[in-house]
Amino acid sequence: MASTIPLDTLKASTVNSPKMKSVKALAESASLSSVPSIYSFTHNPHDEPIISDDAEDSVPIIDVSLLVSGTPEERSQAVHQLNKACSDWGCFMVINHGVPESLTKAMIESFQEFFNLPEEVKQEFHGNHVMDPIRCGTGFNPSMDKVNLWRDYLKCFTYPEFHSPNKPAGFSEIALEFSKKIREIVTVLLKAISKSLGLEESYIDKATNIESGLQILAANYYPACPEPDRAIGIPSHTDHGLLTLLADNGISGLQILHKEKWINVNLLPSALFVHIADHLEILSNGKCKSIEHRALVNDKATRMSLALPHGPSLDTVIRPAPELVDNESHRPAYVEMTYREFLELQQTGRLRSKFG
């Protein structure tokens, strides 16, 4: 465990250099009792909606096994629930989804081992560009005026080509199996969501070229923070892509914005959380809502989450489905562009409004 952190690693000018420490190293520094100013995030009390834990505000639950092998009636009921979840919530949990809990646990443990590697070893996987297939780093967010995020991350492109670090031992094998299983759920969900929009089952698959659609396996590492009210894991945002599937290590921190209230998401142990993301909102011309969410930190335990965004193929132009558009009340509400252009634009900080 690092006992001290050289002061110059905390200077704003060096914070985004390849030599910077991780938040993990910072948090493990024995002398750390407050949040260094570059991490200091002001939670504006006027922007803070009430936290709700009401039962009626609970996130919809979709039973994937019914979509796969239910009776025709069960299937159409599940499709109807999905329709409501996508339009009223922009998110849901999935159960009976076919990913063994033991595999998710093994994936989380393997990421933990990755984050435990010496800082110099992790630096080998430091990428610079949003299109680098393996990228490990810490919380700098260029669109956020020099405030660092209290999280480290590792992101790997796992489809259409599989990439993963070659350390720690066993990581690649687990990541391959886990990402394949998760993609199977997404395949089922996208067909059912197509149907729920009144489109043919394979509509989204075809419109996004999902056969070569991008899948990213990302892990977020949020160390315990001495002053959780003065830092942020990830500020409010929506995800790019069609659907993001998420699991965590049982420590809460994810919140979603629902009817202008922030709601804590406490994942059932065997469930996965599904975010509707920007490209599904675009494709459905706003019928599906991409969910606004954020990650808070706490002073008790390290939180880890696995987030797997699934997007269109990078060079496919994504536009509102013509079937959902007319010249009167359903005009196309989004500009068309490829997924790659969207990601690159997002990096420049010029993609504002909801998708900023």
The site for Ni ion (CB under 5 A) is made up of: 239
Binding mask 225-244 for ligand OGA (x = CB under 6 A): ---------x----x-----
- Shortest distance, CB of residue 32 to Ni ion, whole angstroms? 27
User: Which amino acid is it at 208?
Assistant: T
Answer yes or no: are the C-beta atoms of 178 and 267 closer than 8 Å. Answer: no
Q: Pick from ligand OGA, Ni ion, none: which does 279 bind, CB < 5 to 8 A by kind?
A: none
Q: Pick from Ni ion, ligand OGA, none: which does 295 bind, CB < 5 to 8 A by kind?
A: ligand OGA
Q: Pick from ligand OGA, Ni ion, none: which does 311 bind, CB < 5 to 8 A by kind?
A: none
Phi-psi domain of 14 (left: phi exceeds 0; alpha: psi -120 through 50; beta: other): alpha
Q: Pick from Ni ion, ligand OGA, none: which does 27 bind, CB < 5 to 8 A by kind?
A: none
Q: Name the 3-class secondary structure at 7.
A: helix
* Of the candidates 110, 95, 48, 17, the residue with the CA atom closest to the CA atom of residue 261: 48
Answer yes or no: are the C-beta atoms of 49 and 258 closer than 8 Å. Answer: no
- Shortest distance, CB of residue 295 to ligand OGA, whole angstroms? 4
Length of the chain measured in residues: 356
Rule CB under 6 A: is residue 220 a binding residue for ligand OGA?
Answer: yes
Residues 158-217 interacting with ligand OGA (rule: CB under 6 A): none
Rule CB under 6 A: is residue 307 a binding residue for ligand OGA?
Answer: yes
Q: Pick from Ni ion, ligand OGA, none: which does 305 bind, CB < 5 to 8 A by kind?
A: ligand OGA
- Shortest distance, CB of residue 309 to Ni ion, whole angstroms? 8
Q: Name the 3-class secondary structure at 119.
A: helix
Binding residue for ligand OGA (CB under 6 A) from 22, 208, 302, 305? 305
Distance, in Å, from the CA atom of 155 to the CA atom of 141, rounded to the nearest integer, reads: 15
Rule CB under 6 A: is residue 295 a binding residue for ligand OGA?
Answer: yes
Distance, in Å, from the CA atom of 152 to the CA atom of 167, rounded to the nearest integer, reads: 17
Distance, in Å, from the CA atom of 82 to the CA atom of 64, rounded to the nearest integer, reads: 10
Q: Which pairing describes strands 303-310 and 215-222: parallel, antiparallel, or unpaired?
A: antiparallel
Rule CB under 6 A: is residue 293 a binding residue for ligand OGA?
Answer: yes
Distance, in Å, from the CA atom of 27 to the CA atom of 24, rounded to the nearest integer, reads: 5
- Shortest distance, CB of residue 87 to Ni ion, whole angstroms? 20
Residue (203 or 262) nearer to Ni ion, CB:
262
Extract long-range pairs of 347-352: CB within 8 Å, 24+ residues apart.
Answer: 347/130, 347/142, 349/142, 349/143
Residue (78 or 232) nearer to Ni ion, CB:
232
- Shortest distance, CB of residue 244 to Ni ion, whole angstroms? 6
Give the binding site for ligand OGA (CB under 6 A).
Answer: 218, 220, 234, 239, 253-254, 293, 295, 305, 307
